[in-house]
Amino acid sequence: MTGPTPPLGPPLGMPPAEQEVDRARVTRLLGAYPELAAETVTLLGVGWDNTVWLVDGRWTVRFPRRAAALPLLDRELLVLRALAGRLPLPVPEPAHVAGPYDDFPWPSWSAPVVPGVELSHAGLADADRGEVGAEIGRFLAVLHAQAPPPGLPTDPNRRADMSVRVPWAQGTVGRAVELGLLTDVPERFEALATEALDLTPSTRTVLCHGDLHLRHVLVDGPAAGGVIDWGDACVADPALDLSFAFAALTGEARERCLAAYADHSGSRGLDRATEVRARLVAVGLCAMLATTAHEGGDDALREETLRGVRRALS
């Protein structure tokens, strides 16, 4: 997370922190970063895997909050270093890795701030997302054309495997219904889930961000500012990333995103199987984010991701 999005505590249901990094602790730990004056230290956000602090208004420092996040830290550094200078939008540029420390058992890393505000909290109307759509379409075409760095796993969480993803999405949608966030399970979702289960397994793989949703795309006014949080990067079906077009965009903005992707990737547009996978991933992810936002008191994220469910089914 970057930009002026309000700092949020962990929602209910989020794994508990195995290591808390409060202000006193982070102030001690920042001494390991020679590039930081550490004159100002502000909590930027708490995610499932990391606590992120904004330092001197110009740097982010990410500290794992649980042991399960350590392989993701390694993967994030691996991918970001391999992609340095190759993408058309800013991404985090790892500057310094520090730790483990005497009083913190894991490494952490710093990077200059990526400009912008999370799309989920930017208040950007659907009708004003055309430029974001076009920029993300081009970004994904360039990303998907990159050679994956050696050692990057292939869809380790089976996020593009519909035999796994459909039941998961049914569960997240069902939970949103239980909480009253959705009035019922949309008929269009049931039809989409059935179609997704009938697909033959995908054999197409590219280098993917792996978790490209409304919180991980930053905007700067009506334009894209950058793409953050690369811990789930992997080799997978491109539908995993193209789900953004269905969760975050609609109408002309979605058309511009998919057209830019096709133009810059040399494809003829999305085939039906890729579209179905992308829509299914978008619905499930938005329903999950809406639930955690509701439990954590993040009204803006809840409403934006509920709109994302409707976008993905439109």
What's this model's pTM, rounded to 2 decimal places? 0.92
- Indicate the angle between helix axes 187-197 and 272-296, nearest 10 degrees: 130
**In sequence order, what are the residues at sequence separation of 6 or more whose Cβ sits closer than 8 angstroms to the Cβ of residue 16?**
10, 66
State the pLDDT at residue 133: 98
CATH number listed for the domain at residues 23-112: 3.30.200.20
Beta-ladder partners of 52 = 45, 62
List the domain boundaries for the chain.
23-112, 117-312
Distance CA 193, CA 183 (A): 18
SS3 for 67-101, per residue? HHHHHHHHHHHHHHHHHCCCCCCCCCCCCEEECCE
What fold, for 117-312? Aminoglycoside 3'-phosphotransferase; Chain: A, domain 2 (3.90.1200)
Asked whether 20 and 9 are in contact (CB, 8 A), the reply is: no
CA nearest 123: which of 38, 226, 214?
A: 214
Per-residue pLDDT of the chain (314 residues; tens, 9 = 90+): 443 333 334 444 578 899 999 999 999 999 999 889 999 999 998 888 999 999 999 999 999 999 999 999 999 999 999 999 999 999 999 999 999 999 999 999 999 999 899 999 999 999 999 999 999 999 999 999 999 999 999 999 999 999 999 999 999 999 999 999 999 888 899 999 999 999 999 999 999 999 999 999 999 999 999 999 999 999 999 999 999 999 999 999 999 999 999 999 988 889 999 999 999 999 999 999 999 999 889 999 999 999 999 999 99
Render 268-310 in DSSP notation, one character per residue: -S--HHHHHHHHHHHHHHHHHHHHHHHHHT-HHHHHHHHHHHH
CA nearest 263: which of 112, 164, 104, 141?
A: 141
Read off the DSSP letter of residue 121.
G
| CB-side neighbour CA atoms (13 Å) of 220 | 13
Q: Is 313 exposed, middle or buried (0-12, 13-18, 19+ CB in 10 A)?
A: middle
State the pLDDT at residue 13: 55
State the pLDDT at residue 270: 93
State the pLDDT at residue 6: 37
CA nearest 228: which of 135, 128, 89?
A: 89
For the chain, the straight-line distance linking the first and the last C-alpha, in angstroms and rounded, comes to 28
